[in-house]
Amino acid sequence: MIKNNTSEIIKKHGLKLTKALGQNFLTDFGVVQRIVDASDIDKDTLAIEIGPGVGSMTRELAERSAGVAAIEIDKRLIPALNDNLSDYSNVSIINEDIMKADIDAIIKKYKELYNAKSVKVVANLPYYITTPIIMRFLEEVKGVDKMVFMVQKEVAERMVSGPGTKDYGALSVAVQFYSNPKIVFDVPPHCFIPQPEVHSTIIGLDILSEPPVEVADKNLYFKIVKASFGQRRKTLVNALSNSGFFNKNKEQIKQIIAEMGLNENIRGEVLTVAQFAQLTNLIIK
Ligand code: SAM
C-alpha cells in the first residue's frame, strides 16, 4: 500500500519550498485519497495533474488511471518527482508553466499515449492562479469532463452560490455556465507542510457538454454579467444603462426587464444564469 512520503522526499532531495510558487504540500494521505476519489478517475482516464509538487498525489493517480500527465513549473522538483514516481511507467512529467502550456496539445498527445477514453484534471495550485486556470479550462479547453481543484474556501463558496446570496457573483455565473460545481470537502491548514494561512476547500466541477442556456452572443453575455455585478448597489437598469457595449437606452432596458416579468428596480445579483441569457438575447434582438 502506498503512503504519503512528502516529508521524506523533501528531506532526501534537500528541497527548499518556495512560497511564491504556493508550495504547500499535502502530507495527509487520507486527504489525497479523498481528492482522487472525488475525481472519478478510472483505468480509462487520462489524469492531468497540475502542480504535482513531489508527487504524493501523482502516485495515487498513477495507481488508479490509464496514465498521468503531470505539469510542474519548478525544475528543482523534477529529480524528486522522477525518484518518487520511479515505480510507475504510466506517468509523464512535463516541466512547464500551466499558464503558458498548450493544453490542447498535451491532452491530445497523452490521451493517445495512454489509450485513454476520458480526461480529468486534478490540481492543487497557488491560489493566485487557480481561478484564471479554472476559467481557461472552462472557456478554452475541450475534451475534459471533470476537474477537481483545491481552492481557497471563500472562492469555493462563490463558485457554488446561487442568486440573491452574498457570495453570488460573476464568478458563480461563469462557473455555473460551463459546469456543475460541488463542494467536496474542506482541508484544514494542518494537512500541509508548511501550513498555509488560509482554509482550503476541494471543489469538483462536472463539465457540461452544452451550456445550460442558449446565448446568442457569449461575449456579450459575460459583459452583461460583469456589468450587473460591477455595481452591486445599483439597479440592473442603472448598471446597464451607461455600460456602452450595446445600443439600448435606459427606457429600452426597462422595457426588456418588464418583458422578462421582472420589477424595474431589480438588482443584477438576483438574476439566474438563465435570466442573464434571456436578458442578453432580448438586448441583441
Ligand atoms: N500537488 C502537490 C501536493 O498537493 O502536495 C503540491 C501542491 S503545491 C500547493 C503547488 C504546486 O504547483 C507546486 O509544486 C508548485 O511548484 C506548482 N506550480 C506553481 N505554479 C505553477 C504553474 N504556473 N504551472 C505549473 N505548476 C505550478
Give the domain CATH number at 91.
3.40.50.150
**Number of domain units in the chain:** 2
Q: Which residue has the cell 479523498?
A: 34
Domain co-membership, 39 together with 144: yes
Given a contact cutoff of 8 angstroms between Cβ atoms, the answer to whether 125 and 133 are in contact is: yes
Do 259 and 164 lie in one domain? The reply is no
pLDDT single digits (tens) 65-97: 999 999 999 999 999 999 999 999 999 999 999
Among 207, 226, 245, which residue terminates a domain?
207
Is residue 128 within 8 A of residue 98, CB to CB? The reply is no
Per DSSP, the three-state class of 107 is: helix
- Burial label for 115, CB within 10 Å (0-12, 13-18, 19+), is exposed
Query: pLDDT per residue over 222-255, tens digit each?
Result: 999 999 998 878 999 999 997 888 889 999 999 9
213 found inside a domain:
no
Q: How confident is the model at residue 151 (pLDDT cuts 50, 70, 90)?
A: very high
Rounded mean pLDDT, 156-162:
98
pLDDT tier, 2 (very low <50, low <70, confident <90, very high otherwise): low
Minimal CA–CA distance to 68: which of 33, 24, 36?
36
Q: What residues are paired with 61 via a beta bridge?
A: none
* For helices 218-230 and 170-178, angle between their N-to-C axes, nearest 10 degrees: 150
What is the maximum span of the chain, computed from C-alpha positions, in angstroms?
A: 69
Predicted pLDDT of residue 4: 76
Please say if the pLDDT value at position 170 is more than 80: yes
**pLDDT for position 245:** 86
Arithmetic mean of pLDDT over the chain = 95
Q: How far is the CA of 218 from the centre of ligand 1 (A)?
A: 32
Q: What is the pLDDT of residue 206?
A: 98
- Examine residue 103 and state whether it is found in any structural domain, yes or no: yes
In terms of domains, do 31 and 163 share one?
A: yes
By residue count, the chain amounts to 285
**What does the pLDDT average to over 114-138?**
96
Cα 120 to Cα 57: distance, rounded to the nearest angstrom: 14
Does 41 map to a domain?
yes
Q: How far is the CA of 17 from the centre of ligand 1 (A)?
A: 11
Whether 172 is in a domain gets the answer yes
Which pTM was predicted? 0.94
- Residue 197 lies in domain: 6-207
Whether residue 38 is predicted with pLDDT greater than 60 in this model: the reply is: yes
The number of the ligand 1 atom at minimal distance from the alpha carbon of 100 is: 23
For 89-107, how does the pLDDT look when each residue is reduced to its tens digit (9 = 90+)? 999 999 999 999 999 999 9
Question: CA nearest 72: which of 54, 101, 95, 90?
Answer: 95
Contacts of residue 39, Cβ cutoff 8 Å, sequence gap at least 6: 47, 120, 122, 146, 148, 204
What whole-number percentage of the chain has pLDDT above 90? 92
Q: Is residue 189 part of a domain?
A: yes
212 lies in some domain: no
Tell me which residues have their CB closer than 6 angstroms to ligand 1. Answer: 21-26, 50-53, 56-57, 71-74, 77, 97-99, 124-126, 129
Q: Examine the domain organization and report whether 158 and 229 are in the same domain.
A: no
Kindly tell me if the per-residue pLDDT of 145 is higher than 60. Answer: yes
Nearest CA to ligand 1 atom 21: 73
Which mutation among 95, 125, 190 tests ligand 1's pocket best, with the greatest number of atoms within 8 A of CB?
Answer: 125
165 and 249 assigned to the same domain: no
What is residue 1's predicted lDDT score, i.e. its pLDDT?
A: 47
d(CA 61, CA 208): 23
